[in-house]
Amino acid sequence: MLDVIRRIPRGRVAAYSAVAAAAGYPLHHRLVVQLLRHRGDRLPWHRVLGAGGEIRLRGEAALEQRLRLEAEGVRFRGSRVAAEHILKAEDLVCLRL
């Protein structure tokens, strides 16, 4: 899972569930959350979101995530990341090749 997260390119995002599925653990999206919580300082944590491109963090952490994504050129439609920036599990698998 760590490798999948590291390979998400600048300006793109992926859902917790897509990361888990691309890593071969499609039912373990909560494990992605735990990994980011404990090892996020060494990963591009801001590129991993909730389903539908929604920032699931709250407060200042949510603002920081949005600002980091906007700095990478990610656009939002309201509170969600614009669809063209979202990678699906199959996209993430291709990045591993």
Ordered structural domains, the chain, with CATH: 2-95 (1.10.10.10)
Q: Where residue 96 falls among pLDDT bands split at 50, 70, 90? A: low
Whole-number pLDDT of residue 40: 76
Whole-number pLDDT of residue 41: 85
- State pTM to two decimals: 0.93
| DSSP reduced 3-state for 17 | helix
Residues β-bridged to residue 76: 81
3-state helix, strand, coil in the chain (%, to 5): 55, 15, 30
Q: For all residues of the chain together, what is the average pLDDT?
A: 95
| Residues 24, 93: Cα–Cα separation, whole Å | 9
| DSSP reduced 3-state for 76 | strand
Tokens describing residue 56: 């699931």
